[in-house]
Structure 1
């Protein structure tokens, strides 16, 4: 029987919810492009519940325990990396499966993987497995899987919200209301229309393309760069301008949104040099991974006015320390890493996690689109999106 170690974020401060703002979720029939929704053999939760926190347990306990497996759930993940550190570190030593989230990542470093001799499967409850050292997983023959597409539209909606909030100066205007004020000039002195602006995405995969589709009705000029060029008919449909690289694209854009995975080619991409080539007063939106942008370069660009605004919900490390400079830099619209963890998305990534576990325990193939690493190499979605250092 297997030991499954699940690392989830803490429950709400006031306790696990006993009721919710809405009674149900809309029923979806599939994802854009035809991929089917997660289809586990069953679920032991009500869609719309808080599943991503410790008490929610991704709805897995009954399923696992009825099969004789052990489930350990914790939010304590940040220790000194030794067996004397966090609950995660202590329990990892004999874990067969680790489940983690991008929102509250249990960083499976090479050192931790070396101290987990039984580990065979690492599952991301969500999208983005860069918190796992993929090179170490490949070397050890560990399978890495994630619930591809489960929250892509959730993140795309968040991107559009952040673009509008930055360009229209929404957050300071809302703060004026909370503070009892009514100075319209202060609210509109940094407010512009999105209409007519040039907006570009770094990567046009599931999230990036969904962002482009949602922005097209705003009558903006759309740009993209990606290692895989979109079909010509999609470019025509949305009026897209393709650029061979990020460096080629950003000088043309008023808004740049980052929707790429973190890997050696994208780490530190938005540094002082690249940001200096952007239009003065451009906006940078990053819901992908924090380390795609140089932390201090972003702060400098906001302070100098090179960037008019920066918004995103990804940080490094996560959770971000109280003194992280992105908390206090000017003209930002940062949130905790929540874009892909709406209650709607949780229903899908919890179901997808169970689907992966069912396949693993039953010895049947995990869906190709869920795979990141398998058989000692990149596989499935991982082969399409990631690169390694080896």
Structure 2
């Protein structure tokens, strides 16, 4: 059986990192795993150019949302032996899920593997934006000491209204981490969680109220037909003057050009996140040079601890597949010809 995985190329690190697993060489320690089972394991760093020779006979395909390979309907139809597509992480929108369902290909992801990592990254970026950290840091590096230039645009988080769009595992952990800051927490999600509202100090509101009343909006929704470019020019125009947005969900939830224009006009005071579209982002992607931003590459869920959890979870999915056991229901996105994940069933 042939298994194909798309992972980043090997690069020389400034210092050794024995815990780093996310490249074609380490591959979450899957080389040893598949060798022990007698399967052929191929790792690629460029899906567009290198995947072609393997379509005809690959049975399992593995990739990551941080370095995604876009498994389109056309590629799926040219992969007659494909039985299982695994997201080594969370978020399987880089697979054509309807095409997978039509071909009865199982799609699974490692649910929960990086929720802590992404939640912490989100809180960090909220504080970086509000405290104007980037400007202050640049002055420290450049030998400047212009306090008014930085302090004039720095804010406390306490007392602000934080709107959480998407209240799944990550959104809930963001709420838990922000609660001690004495903020007003509101959320919107297709599934209201009354059981958690008192515990986490959050209040359910409509999408429009969240957009129009939040000082900070943090996005934790999956990318679906409904959320694709949901934050378009109209929605961004309805956000509060001087508000901030943090997006660690999916880049395509934002309208790329509308976001740039809103920041340039001064309507939005800042934007941060680590998700782009497509990924990896081109060198000339407009978000790299737009003002008032604290963007990072998509690494929020790739801490060394998260990589270890992804390794364990990916191997568990593969063990179940090889042993003919049922997958954990929470890991399943597509099964038996149907999209079964509640997140991706929403239209």
Number of aligned pairs? 347
Moved over 4 A (4+): none
Q: Alpha-carbon deviation of 1:62?
A: 1.3
Q: Distance in 1 between matches of 2:37 and 2:314?
A: 16
Q: Map residues 250-261 of structure 1 onto 2, 5 A cutoff.
A: 250-261=211-222
Do residues 10 (structure 1) and 1 (structure 2) align? no
Q: Alpha-carbon deviation of 1:263?
A: 0.4
In structure 2, relative to structure 1, the CA distance for the partners of 1:213 and 1:388 (3 Å cut) is closer
8 Å CA contact retained: 1:6, 1:72: yes
Do residues 72 (structure 1) and 71 (structure 2) align? no
Q: Which residue of 2 aligns with 1:29?
A: none
8 Å CA contact retained: 2:226, 2:346: no
Q: Secondary structure at the match of 2:61?
A: strand
Q: Alpha-carbon deviation of 1:9?
A: 1.4
8 Å CA contact retained: 2:165, 2:188: yes
8 Å CA contact retained: 2:98, 2:339: no
Q: Distance in 2 between matches of 1:359 and 1:260?
A: 28
Do residues 351 (structure 1) and 327 (structure 2) align? no
Q: Distance in 1 between matches of 2:276 and 2:12?
A: 21
Do residues 236 (structure 1) and 198 (structure 2) align? yes
Q: Alpha-carbon deviation of 1:230?
A: 0.8
8 Å CA contact retained: 1:101, 1:124: yes
Aligned counterpart in structure 1 of residue 84 of structure 2, from 121, 130, 143? 121
Q: Which residue of 1 aligns with 2:98?
A: 135
Q: Alpha-carbon deviation of 1:241?
A: 1.6
TM-score by length of structure 1 reads: 0.87
Q: Alpha-carbon deviation of 1:388?
A: 6.8
Q: Alpha-carbon deviation of 1:173?
A: 0.8
8 Å CA contact retained: 1:264, 1:387: no
| Root-mean-square deviation over aligned CA pairs | 1.3
Aligned counterpart in structure 1 of residue 30 of structure 2, from 60, 77, 98? 60
Q: Alpha-carbon deviation of 1:252?
A: 1.0
Do residues 386 (structure 1) and 344 (structure 2) align? yes
Q: Which residue of 1 aligns with 2:329?
A: 368
Q: Alpha-carbon deviation of 1:13?
A: 3.6
| Alpha-carbon displacement from aligned partner over 1:162-209 (angstroms, at most 9, x marks no partner) | 000000000111111111111111121211101100001111100001
Which one is further off, 272-281 or 180-189?
180-189
Aligned counterpart in structure 2 of residue 112 of structure 1, from 75, 89, 92? 75
Aligned counterpart in structure 2 of residue 216 of structure 1, from 179, 197, 221? 179
| Alpha-carbon displacement from aligned partner over 1:43-102 (angstroms, at most 9, x marks no partner) | xxxxx711111111111111211211000011112x3xxxxxx11232233110000000
In structure 2, relative to structure 1, the CA distance for the partners of 1:188 and 1:11 (3 Å cut) is farther
Q: Distance in 2 between matches of 1:154 and 1:92?
A: 33
Q: Which residue of 2 aligns with 1:49?
A: 19
Q: Which residue of 2 aligns with 1:282?
A: 243
8 Å CA contact retained: 1:135, 1:388: no
8 Å CA contact retained: 1:290, 1:314: yes
Q: Which residue of 1 aligns with 2:130?
A: 167
Q: Give the helix-richer structure, 1 or 2.
A: 2
Q: Secondary structure at the match of 1:248?
A: helix
8 Å CA contact retained: 1:200, 1:249: yes
8 Å CA contact retained: 1:134, 1:388: no
Q: Secondary structure at the match of 2:94?
A: coil
Q: Distance in 1 between matches of 2:11 and 2:183?
A: 39
Q: Map residues 195-344 of structure 1 onto 2, 5 A cutoff.
A: 195-232=158-195, 234-244=196-206, 246-344=207-305
Q: Distance in 2 between matches of 1:358 and 1:239?
A: 40
The unaligned stretches of length 5 or more in structure 2 are none
Q: Alpha-carbon deviation of 1:378?
A: 1.6
Q: Which residue of 2 aligns with 1:39?
A: none
8 Å CA contact retained: 2:107, 2:332: yes
Q: Distance in 2 between matches of 1:329 and 1:117?
A: 44
The unaligned stretches of length 5 or more in structure 1 are 21-47, 80-85
8 Å CA contact retained: 2:166, 2:187: yes
TM-score by length of structure 2 reads: 0.97
Q: Secondary structure at the match of 1:355?
A: helix
